[in-house]
């Protein structure tokens, strides 16, 4: 059964670890992440961008797939299904479809409009027992056509959004979606610390978890980050494993072209990546 992310992230913040949000793109992705969470006894958040939701057939299809896997695979750890970087309209669609958590990305609006729209969505989400994440300051790179320069959030604006009753908050601190460039300046821990000082016990979210050095991840967790998003790293590991399988000609051996065989190495690679991240984030064994 899907749960909201509120309780798992409160526990993570209090326990000084982070729960991973791993974005899903298809059945293999979802199955690999869920089985790893079960094996590692870790809570987990399945992230779905609007583009990935459309690719998988729509939000109702995603909810049906995830709920079916939870039951048939006997997944007995806390799992939240979360809209990632949702639009105002997309949030309402996911609330209606049965998601257990949503993110409204109002970071590209003036703060007044971000506050107005977030206020409305907090009421709608909480009325259904759904957790809600908001964002202040942009995340660098591009996701579903939204381009951010990686500006650091204004801590006072973060407090204004936090005071609306959101369950967790993404604050831009120099983080980037996708691969980090060679000239990346690193995370702004000064900004993160200032945000935590003003938002108190509210769990904070670090987007763009792929490629951030382990020491920065651990420091971010010590400064209030309780949710870390990973997508690109799973995509890269899946692609590398699939490429190796094909380049070695295994798809031409016997029935190696069968998608159940063709996609298996990539699915195993995702499991290994998720396991590595859960160990780094400190969430292993926290589902008990």
- The full DSSP string for the chain is ----SHHHHHHHHHHT--EEEEE--SHHHHHHHHHHHHHHT--EEEEEEHHHHHHTT-HHHHHHHHHHHHHHTT--S-EEEEEEEE-HHHHHHHHHHT-SEEEE--TTS-HHHHHHHHHHHHHHHHTTT-EEEEEESPPBEEETTEEE--PPPPHHHHHHHHTTT-SEEEE-SS-BSSSPPTT-----HHHHHHHHHHHTT--EEE---TT--HHHHHHHHHTTEEEEEE-HHHHHHHHHHHHHHHHTTGGGSTTTTSHHHHSHHHHHHHHHHHHHHHHHHT-TTTT-
Of residues 1 and 175, which shows the higher confidence score?
1
pLDDT of residue 288: 76
pLDDT in tens, 80-101: 999 999 999 999 999 999 999 9
> Is 1 a member of any domain?
no
Give the position of tokens 């064994």: 285
Parallel/antiparallel/unpaired status of strands 19-23 and 146-148: unpaired
pLDDT in tens, 21-73: 999 999 999 999 999 999 999 999 999 999 999 999 999 999 999 999 999 99
Whether the model clears a pTM of 0.85, i.e. scores above it, the answer is yes
pLDDT in tens, 233-274: 999 999 999 999 999 999 999 999 999 999 999 999 999 999
Parent domain of 153: 6-281
pLDDT in tens, 123-156: 999 999 999 999 987 555 444 544 444 567 788 9
84 labelled catalytic: yes
pLDDT above 70: percentage of residues in the chain: 91
Name residue 48's beta-bridge partners: 83
pLDDT of residue 140: 52
pLDDT of residue 191: 86
Q: Angle CA(128)–CA(103)–CA(144) in degrees, nearest 5?
A: 135
> Is 288 a member of any domain?
no
C-alpha 49/C-alpha 185 separation (Å) is 27
> Is 108 a member of any domain?
yes
> Is 286 a member of any domain?
no
* Distances 41 to 15, 159, 168, 286 between C-alpha atoms, Å: 16, 33, 23, 6
> Is 269 a member of any domain?
yes
Of residues 143 and 280, which shows the higher confidence score?
280
Burial class (CB in 10 A: 0-12, 13-18, 19+), 3: middle
- Pair 6, 19: CB distance under 8 Å: no
> Is 92 a member of any domain?
yes
Count other Cβ atoms within 10 Å, centred on residue 110.
9
pLDDT of residue 146: 47
**Looking at 74-78, 115-119, 190-194, which range is the least confident one?**
190-194
Q: What is the CATH number of the domain that holds 180?
A: 3.20.20.70
- Select which of 72, 76, 84, 105 is catalytic: 84
pLDDT in tens, 173-221: 877 766 666 666 678 888 889 999 999 999 999 987 677 889 989 999 9
Number of domains in the chain: 1
Confidence check: pLDDT of 109 > 50? yes
* CA-closest candidate to residue 9, choices 162, 153, 169, 152: 169
pLDDT of residue 151: 67
Per-residue pLDDT, averaged over 8-22, amounts to 97
> Is 140 a member of any domain?
yes
């Amino acid at each position: 059964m899907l749960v909201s992310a509120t309780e798992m992230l409160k526990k993570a913040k209090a326990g000084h670890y982070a729960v991973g949000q791993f974005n899903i793109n298809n059945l293999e992705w979802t199955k690999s992440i869920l089985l790893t969470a079960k094996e590692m006894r870790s809570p987990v958040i399945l992230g779905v961008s609007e583009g990935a939701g459309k690719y998988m057939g729509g939000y109702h299809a995603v909810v049906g797939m995830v709920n079916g896997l939870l039951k048939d695979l006997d997944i007995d750890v806390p799992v939240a299904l979360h809209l990632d970087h949702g639009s105002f309209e997309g949030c309402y669609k996911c609330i209606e479809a049965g998601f257990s958590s949503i993110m409204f990305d109002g970071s590209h609006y003036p703060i007044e409009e971000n506050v107005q729209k977030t206020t409305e969505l907090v009421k709608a989400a909480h009325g259904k027992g759904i957790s809600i994440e908001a964002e202040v300051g942009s995340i660098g790179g591009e996701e579903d056509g939204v381009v951010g320069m990686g500006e650091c959030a204004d801590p006072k604006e973060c407090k204004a959004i936090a005071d609306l009753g959101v369950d967790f908050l993404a604050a831009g601190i120099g983080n980037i979606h996708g691969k980090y460039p060679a000239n990346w300046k690193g995370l702004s821990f000064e900004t993160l610390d200032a945000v935590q000082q003003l938002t108190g016990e509210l769990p904070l979210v670090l987007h763009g978890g792929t490629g951030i050095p382990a020491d920065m991840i651990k420091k971010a967790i010590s400064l209030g980050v309780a949710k870390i998003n990973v997508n690109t790293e799973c995509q890269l590991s899946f692609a590398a494993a699939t490429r190796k399988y094909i380049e070695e000609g295994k798809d031409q051996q016997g029935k190696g072209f069968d998608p159940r065989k063709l996609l298996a190495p990539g699915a195993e690679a995702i499991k290994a990546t998720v396991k590595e991240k859960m160990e780094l984030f400190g969430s292993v064994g926290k589902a008990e």
